[in-house]
Structure 1
Amino acid sequence: MLCIAGTIPEDSFPLVEGEVKLSGEHLRIGSSSVAVNRGTAALLAAAVTAAEVLKQPPPFAYLVGDTGTGKGSGRLYRHMTDVLPHMSFQTITFHYIQPNIHWHKSLHVVIGSLSQRPSLIADAGSMYAAKMSGEALLYDLFTPDVGELAFLADEEAPHPFYTRGFILHEENRVPDLIARAYKHHNAARYLLVKGEKDYLADESGILETVDDPVEEALEAIGGTGDTLTGLVSVMIDAGMNMREAAVAAMQVNRTAGKGAQPTPATQIEEIIRCIPSALRDVLGEEVLKRLRRG
């Protein structure tokens, strides 16, 4: 089963856990609901949609409200440290969670003690926590955009705000940034770099590049990077190997974006509604049957 942990940018949103359902433009977890817009909500909506097509269980989520103070994130870390020994997940994706080095280390002590180690994926603030605590190598996949990659590549920056200016956030610098992140042990086993072109890399360098289809309007739509992380999480949990899953997720995300016929006014839920047809187009019937059989 896939577990997704993250925050909702509302201080009043409670700490909740459970299987996630998608109802119209809202996610539902128990008695709580949240609008699908961007961030962890968009990631979860993409994951729920993909899991349904692949006939996988809906993702199990741990969510809490946090508008940047870190209080909710601290509660989430503490709660997961308590409950993970009693759960069984094949894959855990950590998303928007404020970095807390103490609780990040404590959580990984718990994960390291589990009888079966899950695949570990991190995006957004959870990548920052992994780097800042010196534990990036514990992860199987990071999913940064180019700006986040620049922070991973800066071995001296203690926080993304302090990424040094000479480490440029430019698309044409991606190969150099990848190499630098691995040189200083600030990258997971694989990096899926999201941008104008999407890249999959490991310590040997770039393995795959996906840049088609191209929809310029997607650059203005918040949440498309989050949906990509949701897609790759579901595919890995469904049994695809990391490289196969990353390439397929990059292609599906772009195909869904094209299917939405986007304009700058397009909302992320319109793209998410195109994920089922994009999965069928990209994966094909044979791969879908394999994944559905488990």
Structure 2
Amino acid sequence: MLLIVGTVPDETFPLTLGPALLDGADMIVNGVRVPVNRGTPALVGAVLAACQVLGPLPVETALVGDIGTGKGSRQLYEHLSRELPGMAPTTLAFHYLQPDVDWHNKVLFAVEEMEKRPVLVADAGFMYAAKMSGQAQSYDLFTPDVGELSFLADETAPHPFYTRGFILHQDNNVPDLIARAHEHRNGARHLLVKGSVDYMVADGEITGQVSKPAAEAMEAMGGTGDTLTGIVCALIESGKSIPKACRIAARVNRMAGVAARPTPASQVMDLILQIPKALARVMADPDYQ
């Protein structure tokens, strides 16, 4: 089972657990309808789109509303710290939650109490909390963009707000940022770095790059990093190794973006609709076997 943990930008959205389905441009969980525009709903939408090709994977969600106050995130943290030991996900993806080191550690302790340890994937706020707690190397995969990678690479920054300026300005020097994050043990075992070039990293070493196809307008479309994380999570749950899943996902996300013919006004759902066709093509390509 792939368990996706995250938040919805609606403070009235209750703690909601269960499988999700896509209905037009919305995600529905336990009868609650949420627009798929960006954030965790976009990640879930990408997973469900990938399942159209990979097959009906067992996918569950643990979601709560949070508009940045942290109230919903703390509620979800508390639930996970109590319930995870009795759950059995094979892949556990943490996404947008307000970074909280104490609660993060309680959740990680709960993971360690599970009968079988799942593959741990973290992005966005939970990845921040993992680095802030000094527990980054407990994770199997982080999926940072270059800005997030800069925070991972700054060994002195206790919070993303305090990432040092000279590091933030190294956007064109991603390999050095990767090496720095690994040197200071602030990266997971694997990284999928999202950007104009997507980098696949294992134990601090760059193992691959994907830069084509490219749609410039994707840079202005919010949520494309969330869809990339969703695709890689679905591939891992389907049985692909992490390096192979990262390489396939990077290619698929780019192909889906180009096929969506994006403009600055495009929505991430336009890309999600193209994921099944793009994934089928890449899975049939001998170079990605």
Same fold (TM over 0.5): yes
Displacement, 1:285? 8.2
On the 8 A contact 1:218/1:224 being kept in 2, the answer is: yes
Opposite residue 115 of structure 1, the aligned amino acid is: E
| Contact 1:37-1:269 at 8 Å conserved across structures | yes
Cα distance in structure 2, aligned partners of 1:55 and 1:157: 42
Q: Match of 1:77, as an amino acid?
A: Y
Query: What SS does structure 2 have at the residue aligned with 1:7?
Result: strand
**2: CA distance between counterparts of 1:266 and 1:172?**
27
**1:59 equivalenced with 2:54 (yes/no):** no
The CA distance in 2 between the partners of 1:279 and 1:70, in whole Å, is 35
In the alignment, residue 279 of structure 2 is paired with which amino acid? L
How far apart are the structure 2 equivalents of 1:90 and 1:216?
36
Q: Hey, what does 1:17 align to over in structure 2?
A: 17
Match of 2:75 in 1: 75
Determine the structure 2 residue equivalent to 1:267: 267
Q: Distance in 2 between matches of 1:82 and 1:169?
A: 41
Q: Which residue of structure 2 lines up, in the alignment, with residue 191 of structure 1?
A: 191
Q: In 2, Cα distance between the equivalents of 1:222 and 1:97? A: 18
SS in 2 for 1:115: coil
Residue 260 of structure 1 deviates from its aligned partner by 0.7
Instruction: Map Cα deviations across residues 202-260 of structure 1 (whole Å, 9 max, x no partner).
Output: 23421100000011011100000000000000000100001100000000000100111
Distance 2:109 2:168 in 1: 35
Measure, in 2, the Cα distance between the counterparts of 1:174 and 1:206: 10
The 1:287–1:52 alpha-carbon spacing in structure 2 relative to 1, beyond 3 Å, is farther
Deviations 1:83-106 (A, max 9, x none): 212221000000000111111111
Aligned length: 289
Secondary structure of the residue aligned to 1:167 is helix
Identical aligned residues as a percent: 53
Alpha-carbon distance in structure 2 between the residues aligned to 1:173 and 1:113: 39
Q: CA–CA distance in 2 between the matches of 1:222 and 1:107?
A: 29
Amino acid paired to 1:8: V
Aligned residue number for residue 29 of structure 1:
29
Any conservation in 2 of the 1:52–1:58 contact (CA below 8 Å)? no
- The structural deviation recorded for 1:58 is 4.6
Gaps of 5+ in 2: none
Please state how far the C-alpha of 1:263 moved relative to its aligned partner. 1.4
- Find the counterpart in structure 1 of residue 46 from structure 2: 46
Q: Please give the per-residue CA displacement for 1:97-143, whole angstroms capped at 9, x wherever unaligned.
A: 01111111111111111111000000000110001111101100000
Query: Compared with structure 1, are the counterparts of its residues 135 and 70 closer, same or farther at alpha carbon in structure 2 (3 Å cutoff)?
Result: same
Q: Secondary structure at the match of 1:85?
A: helix
C-alpha distance 64-287 of structure 1, shift in aligned 2 (>3 A): farther
Partner SS state of residue 166, structure 1: helix
Matched residue of 2:92: which SS?
A: strand
Provide the residue aligned with 1:256 in structure 2: 256
- Alpha-carbon distance in structure 2 between the residues aligned to 1:90 and 1:196: 31
Give the distance between the partners of 2:284 and 2:246, measured in 1 at CA. 16
> Bigger CA drift: 49-58 or 32-41?
49-58
Worse overlay, 165-174 or 74-83: 165-174
TM-score by length of 1: 0.95
Q: Contact (CA 8 Å) 1:21, 1:58: kept in 2 or not?
A: no
What's the CA shift string for 1:257-281, capped at 9, x where partnerless?
Answer: 0111111111110110000100111
Find the counterpart in structure 2 of residue 153 from structure 1: 153
Query: Does structure 1 residue 182 correspond to structure 2 residue 203?
Result: no
CA contact (8 A) 2:22 2:45 kept: yes
Aligned mates of 1:285, 1:252 — CA distance in 2: 11
Larger CA deviation: 155-164 vs 47-56: 47-56
Which is worse superposed, 247-256 or 75-84? 75-84
Rounded Cα–Cα distance in structure 2 between residues aligned with 1:52 and 1:262: 22
The CA RMSD over aligned residues, in Å, is 1.6
Point out 4+ residue stretches in structure 1 off by more than 4 angstroms: 285-288
| Separation of aligned partners in 2, 1:83 and 1:113 | 11
Q: CA deviation at 1:287?
A: 11
Q: Which AA in structure 2 matches 1:220?
A: A
Distance 2:279 2:169 in 1: 31
State the AA in 2 paired with 1:266: S
Q: What 5-or-longer segments of structure 1 have no aligned partner?
A: none
Change (3 A) 1:31 1:262: same
1:139-198 CA-partner distances (Å, limit 9, x unpaired) = 000000000000000011111111011113443210010011011110000110000010
